[in-house]
Amino acid sequence: MGVGHSVDSPAGWRIVLDEAVTRVAARFARVDPRATAGQFVEGLLSKVERKTCWSLAERAGHGDPQAMQRLLRTAVWDADAVRDDVRSWLIEQLGHPDGVLVTDETGFLKKGVCSVGVQRQYTGTAGRIENSQVGVFLAYVAPAGRAMIDRRLYLPETTWCDRPDRLAAAGVPDDVGFATKPALARQMIAAAIEAGVPFGWVTGDEVYGADPGLRAHLEHRGIGYVLAVGCDRRVAVNDGRILVRVDDLAARIPTAEWQLHSCGPGAKGPRDYLWAWITTAIRPGEHRWLLIRRNRTTGELAFYLCWSPRPMPLHTLVRVAGSRWALRSCSRPAKARSAWTITRSAAGPAGTGSSPWPCSPWPS
């Protein structure tokens, strides 16, 4: 994340953290949980290896984890309002009209059955089916930096949304129903627009690229997108008269048509790939392309459906596609730190004592 203060020193981190805590102070009804929240976040940002309520309490100088546990279980504060405050602060620092919203998901491994939305399901965190929660996240990528700005908890349909007794026991509000992961992404994008977040593009992986509702929603709002799709996706060519698989189209592209571009810096230097693009439609107010990425070493291909209300050069589409990877340096820790706030928000207001809140952001 890039902000108005340098974070290259402990003093710089302290200034940024104090500013963040000041921004959200009014969302806490009492001084004690407000102070504990600052200590909690500071502990999550620290080098403490195992971040449980016990370890974070010890780091903060507490004699026991009760204050940390109360913060997550019964203290009165509004997680969504805190999110809005932090988002506004981040946009003040990073906001840019060419910003990119990146939608992504991740899983939080669990051992029990009471955490909201938990079930056996595939999660990339483990690379297999595991007992877990899944959260959908929205990140903001701009020239000055990047940060997570929103999150939603995915509630499985049959094991949760179709079981009112289970929803009630977990404290899920009555107005929360089933929504697909792309639908959750649409909710967050709409919230970002309503909040005045400046951006020009949306990108995401195949889960989101395959959803026609999300693509139509973005086109209706005039928002450009670069969304990944699978190799078996068919696109219309020859003025829509023929549908062709994208991997078949890639095989027909002459060698001279592939162009070398970097989609951004990586841990080992520039992430250079070969890129090709095919215009699939040009009409008043809309331009469509198929963007193809090829690994220079392995030959592995990736495909993206692209749309914009205006003509765009290839390097712009490459930049947007590369925004997904720009988050890898911060996405895992940032999303893990959000696990407890997603669960808290999904299960309704705090202070009721009726919800089985987790006592740490991940299982012990």
Q: Write the CA distances from 286 to 200, 202, 258, 363, integer angstroms.
A: 14, 16, 24, 47
Answer for the pair 73, 31: CB distance below 8 angstroms, yes or no. no
pLDDT on residue 47: 86
Q: Is 126 left (phi over 0), alpha (psi -120 to 50) or beta?
A: alpha
DSSP string, 67-97: HHHHHHHT--B-HHHHHHHHHHHHHHHH--T
Report the alpha-carbon distance of residue 180 to residue 109 in Å, rounded.
20
pLDDT on residue 44: 86
To the nearest whole number, what is the mean pLDDT of the chain? Answer: 86
Tokens read off for 192:
């970002």
pLDDT on residue 355: 30
What pairs with residue 301 in β-bridges? 294
pTM over 0.85: yes
| Mean pLDDT (whole number) for 188-206 | 97
**Among 256, 288, 289, 287, CA closest to 274:** 256
The conformation of residue 278, written as its DSSP 8-state character, comes to E
Greater confidence (97 vs 282) lies with: 97
pLDDT of residue 319 exceeding 50: yes
pLDDT tens digit sequence for 50-102? 888 999 999 999 999 999 999 988 888 888 999 999 999 999 999 999 999 99
Q: Where are the alpha helices (DSSP H) in the chain?
A: 10-24, 31-45, 53-60, 66-73, 79-94, 164-170, 181-194, 206-209, 212-220, 246-251, 314-326, 331-346
Answer for the pair 151, 136: CB distance below 8 angstroms, yes or no. yes
pLDDT on residue 231: 96
Answer for the pair 33, 176: CB distance below 8 angstroms, yes or no. no
Report the alpha-carbon distance of residue 286 to residue 39 in Å, rounded.
49
pLDDT on residue 264: 80
Rounded to 5 degrees, what are φ and ψ at 229?
Answer: -135, 165
Determine the residue type at 29.
Answer: A
pLDDT on residue 10: 66
